[in-house]
Chain A
Amino acid sequence: MKILGYLGLLTIVALVIHDSGFHFDRERVEVKQKHRSDQRNWSVRYPQINVFNHSSMRYLKDFGGMSELIEPGTLVLSDLATSYFAAAKLPVYVVNVHRHQGRWQRRAWARFLDRRYFCYLEFEENRIEVKEHLRKHPELKYVIVNRDGVAWHRTQDCMAHRSRVLTEELPKFATLVFEGEFLDLYEIR
């Protein structure tokens, strides 16, 4: 009977090792990095630099600079990730948010963002749509352009990975009021 007890113990130890091994697996972390998949579980192999690179930490200085210029309580447009980062740091509200967190509260903005006019400003017809929308919705005061090339979260949104076009075209509608290391703040004219 003792043997049965030991066998049971051995089986459970094997089960625990099997199920918890991923916390110690370097390859898993590397594969996740390669595929830009977020690391939700803790891992002894997870390097601290990732937290620094893929969150808003590197932008805090830029946000600090903006906070002195930005009018509190105003509405800001940016890519999805930067919108959330701004909402957590600045005294502003944002329009570009997840669907389950109130994107459709501002219906006109949700439709406008879904049509992606802002991402393809190099086309004249899109610039006309943008101008028309901004005229109808003067509540939008600022646009933040994120020029960072390192963080993954930027790839979630066309406004993020087309920041170069935005930087070139935005001066046609807005004035650059702050130029940071990663973030630029434009005030709509």
Chain B
Amino acid sequence: MIPTFFHLESHLWIAYVLLLNGYLANLFLRRLSSDYHQMTTLLEAQVLAAFFISVTLNGLLLLILQSLSQKYSLASYVLPAITLGLALLVVRGGPDIKRCMSVEIDWLRCSMYVVVFVVLFYNGGLIEQISDAWWHMSLANKIALASSYSLETGHLTGLPTRYYPPLWHGNLAMLHILSAEPLPIIWNSFTAWGATFKVMALFLFALALTKDKFTAGLAALFFVLLPGIGNSYLRVSAWPSHIAYTAWFVLLGLVFRVFDARDVNSGGVRVLHWWNKRSLMAIGVALPLMIIIYFSHKLELLWFALAIYFYFLALMVRYVWNGEVHQIEPAYPLLFLFGGAATLGWVGYAGYFFLDQFDRASIDERISFAFAPILAVVFFLLSGFRSRLPMWAVRASLVVLLAAIVWTIDPRHALSLFVPELAYPPQATPQSPLAAPGLFGENLKIPGWHLQLREGLLFSGSVAAGISLIMAIFTPNRINLFLSANCLVALMFCFSPYLYHWLAELLNYHSPWRIAILVWHPLIIAVCVSQLLKFSRGDRR
């Protein structure tokens, strides 16, 4: 018979090791800075700040202990000392402490978090499969045993293995050492916390994008309910990738905070007008989050850059079509600065990659490697010479460019999303890409829909793609262009063998299908519901 509150002790340890010190540091920071105070008004922001500060503090503590050749078990003395020190710093604030502890709580959203926590408390995170979770637990176990992040002999087979960002494993190791709870129990218990944090982070991101708590709350609810890549998979919330997703959502929210931080009294729209306390504070919080992602899973930094870059592309398309950008995105100088630098970077690298691979690649591969960079060069030339060309020629060229991308879609692969029998034959492992013939009969990589793609796309994902396009065309604002660009470009990579093969080879990554995480269908559907509700009430804006 299993008790109702099984492994309760591990939950108490999680609250202490992964929240308490971070919460105290958060209170101290709130006392120091009014901008930080304002940024962390909501319960969600405070909980996530507490979590990420704790994760960072723990990671740093272990690093210091390792550098001093001390055992990690020493953390059981140092951590309470840190808690005491932080508590003293907070208490020194005197009557100000009440202001620091103020928090805005929405009870409806809180109920949702409680339900998510309770369901995952009982569902747990140990799925009935020998999944990679055990690989991660083995790494955390050996970090704890060796009191070191750098395991020269590897951790599973006893032989040197590839480097894996160890920040999250270090935190698990610390929990294991301090609590003496076995890692599987910690992993299983943390899943409930991690799932709740992830939903909270999604809410913060949606709120920063839409500036509407109702829409953001709805997006969080749909994130819990609708299957997809990353969303709804709450039972894997203790995996390092999902810790990184949580940080990534918060990071995206901070980007929109920076976009909105322009000094409106300055009257200008130069990059320097974003150089103020508000944006600097957001950047100051974003940088540690980037470091957390880098040391816990890394890949989300790429998805982060791509998410912003795809939005930049959507704005550029809009600009080429009718010159309209300022009204849609006031922070366009920032975006253009980022987009310009990113374009130069990736086109340059893709050009080098094409030349490097030319002799080894088949004819279809050469087309694949050259397609995106050539398209980008033509597109940016078109945007540069836009004002010197007749409007009909500009628009016709843009349509041809967009049609060229759509033309690379493999119709059989697209249809196989709905009719699995049409799918290309499976390869060695489920993760292996399928082989789709190119124009000259050579094989190109394409992702199998059997990964998490089919259940994410059928039907809410594919319906959301259509909705996002309609919303972007008829109401081209920041929300709709950001969501639509991310959804459609990400899907294009999954439908087009030329684009997917190029991405897989360029990144030298086995699972670029994970780009579908940018489909954001819970957000698209939430925004659509919100707009339809307004429409039904007679608001036609």
Real binding pair: yes
With contacts A52-B2, A94-B157 known, is A101 near B135, CB below 8 A? Answer: yes
Q: Count chain A CB atoms within 10 A of each CB in B119, B120, B158 and give the residue with the most.
A: B158
With contacts A89-B141, A102-B154, A102-B161 known, is A15 near B463, CB below 8 A? Answer: yes
- Asked whether, in the complex, the Cβ of A80 is within 8 Å of the Cβ of B130, the reply is yes
List the B side residues contacting A57 at CB < 8 Å: 126, 184-185, 188
Instruction: Of the listed stretches B14-22, B31-39, B317-325, B530-538, name the one at the interface; the rest are far from the partner chain.
Output: B530-538
Q: How far is the CB of A50 from chain B (nearest CB, A)?
A: 7
Instruction: Of the listed stretches A40-48, A128-136, A163-171, A176-184, name the one at the interface; the rest are far from the partner chain.
Output: A40-48
B interface SS class = helix
Bound Cα distance from A154 to B336, whole angstroms = 55
Q: How far is the CB of A132 from chain B (nearest CB, A)?
A: 22
Residue B345 CB within 8 A of the other chain: no
Residue B362 CB within 8 A of the other chain: no
A43-73: CB near B (< 8 Å → 1, else 0) gives: 1101111111011110010010000000011
List the B side residues contacting A94 at CB < 8 Å: 156-157
Q: How far is the CB of B509 from chain A (nearest CB, A)?
A: 14
Bound Cα distance from A42 to B226, whole angstroms = 11
Q: How far is the CB of B224 from chain A (nearest CB, A)?
A: 8
List the B side residues contacting A40 at CB < 8 Å: 127, 129, 233, 235-236
- Asked whether, in the complex, the Cβ of B157 is within 8 Å of the Cβ of A49, the reply is no
Tell me the chain A residues, 71-90 only, with Cβ under 8 Å from chain B.
72-73, 75, 80-81, 84-85, 87-90
Residue A34 CB within 8 A of the other chain: no
- Asked whether, in the complex, the Cβ of A93 is within 8 Å of the Cβ of B130, the reply is no
With contacts A9-B533, A38-B127, A87-B134 known, is A105 near B159, CB below 8 A? Answer: yes
Residue B128 CB within 8 A of the other chain: yes
List the A side residues contacting B463 at CB < 8 Å: 15
With contacts A40-B236, A57-B184, A84-B135 known, is A48 near B157, CB below 8 A? Answer: no
Interface size class of B (residues with CB under 8 A): 35 or more
- Asked whether, in the complex, the Cβ of B234 is within 8 Å of the Cβ of A16, the reply is no
With contacts A51-B123, A95-B157, A102-B154 known, is A88 near B226, CB below 8 A? Answer: no
List the A side residues contacting B529 at CB < 8 Å: 9, 12
- Asked whether, in the complex, the Cβ of B122 is within 8 Å of the Cβ of A93, the reply is no
Residue A18 CB within 8 A of the other chain: yes
A24-49: CB near B (< 8 Å → 1, else 0) gives: 00000000000010111111101111
With contacts A16-B222, A20-B225 known, is A101 near B156, CB below 8 A? Answer: yes
Residue A115 CB within 8 A of the other chain: no
The contact of B188 among A23, A36, A42, A55, by CB within 8 Å, is A55
With contacts A19-B226, A42-B235, A106-B157 known, is A89 near B130, CB below 8 A? Answer: no
Residue B155 CB within 8 A of the other chain: yes
List the B side residues contacting A46 at CB < 8 Å: 122-123
Bound Cα distance from A164 to B536, whole angstroms = 68
List the B side residues contacting A87 at CB < 8 Å: 134, 137-138, 141, 155-156
Residue B459 CB within 8 A of the other chain: yes
The contact of A15 among B6, B134, B161, B460, by CB within 8 Å, is B460
- Asked whether, in the complex, the Cβ of B225 is within 8 Å of the Cβ of A16, the reply is yes
Residue A127 CB within 8 A of the other chain: no
- Asked whether, in the complex, the Cβ of A56 is within 8 Å of the Cβ of B460, the reply is no
Bound Cα distance from A47 to B195, whole angstroms = 18
Tell me the chain B residues, 1-34 only, with Cβ under 8 Å from chain A.
2, 6
- Asked whether, in the complex, the Cβ of A100 is within 8 Å of the Cβ of B429, the reply is yes
Q: How far is the CB of B186 from chain A (nearest CB, A)?
A: 10
Q: Count chain A CB atoms within 10 A of each CB in B127, B134, B232, B233 and give the residue with the most.
A: B134
- Asked whether, in the complex, the Cβ of B525 is within 8 Å of the Cβ of A98, the reply is no
- Asked whether, in the complex, the Cβ of B122 is within 8 Å of the Cβ of A54, the reply is no
Residue B170 CB within 8 A of the other chain: no
B184-203: CB near A (< 8 Å → 1, else 0) gives: 11001000000100000000
Residue A156 CB within 8 A of the other chain: yes
- Asked whether, in the complex, the Cβ of A16 is within 8 Å of the Cβ of B226, the reply is yes
Q: How far is the CB of A98 from chain B (nearest CB, A)?
A: 7
List the A side residues contacting B120 at CB < 8 Å: 42
List the B side residues contacting A153 at CB < 8 Å: 128-130
Bound Cα distance from A40 to B460, whole angstroms = 19
Residue B124 CB within 8 A of the other chain: yes
The contact of B6 among A16, A48, A54, A106, by CB within 8 Å, is A48
Q: How far is the CB of B140 from chain A (nearest CB, A)?
A: 8
Residue of B nearest to A152 (CB): B128
Residue A5 CB within 8 A of the other chain: yes
Tell me the chain B residues, 130-162 only, with Cβ under 8 Å from chain A.
130-132, 134-135, 137-138, 140-142, 145, 153-159, 161
Residue A6 CB within 8 A of the other chain: yes
Q: Which A residues are closer than 8 A to B by beta carbons?
A: 1-2, 4-6, 8-9, 12, 15-16, 18-20, 22-23, 36, 38-44, 46-52, 54-57, 60, 63, 72-73, 75, 80-81, 84-85, 87-91, 93-95, 97-103, 105-106, 152-153, 156
Could you list 13 further interchain pairs (A-B, Cβ under 8 angstroms) beyond the known A42-B234, A60-B182, A156-B130? Answer: A5-B535, A9-B536, A12-B525, A15-B460, A15-B525, A55-B126, A87-B137, A88-B184, A89-B141, A89-B182, A91-B145, A101-B135, A102-B161
23 contacts between A and B (CB under 8 A): A4-B535, A5-B536, A8-B535, A9-B536, A15-B525, A19-B226, A20-B232, A38-B129, A40-B127, A40-B236, A42-B123, A46-B122, A47-B122, A48-B2, A48-B123, A55-B188, A88-B137, A91-B142, A101-B135, A102-B156, A105-B157, A105-B159, A153-B129
Which 9 residue pairs spanning A and B have beta carbons closest together? Answer: A93-B158, A5-B536, A20-B225, A88-B137, A84-B134, A87-B138, A55-B126, A51-B124, A54-B128
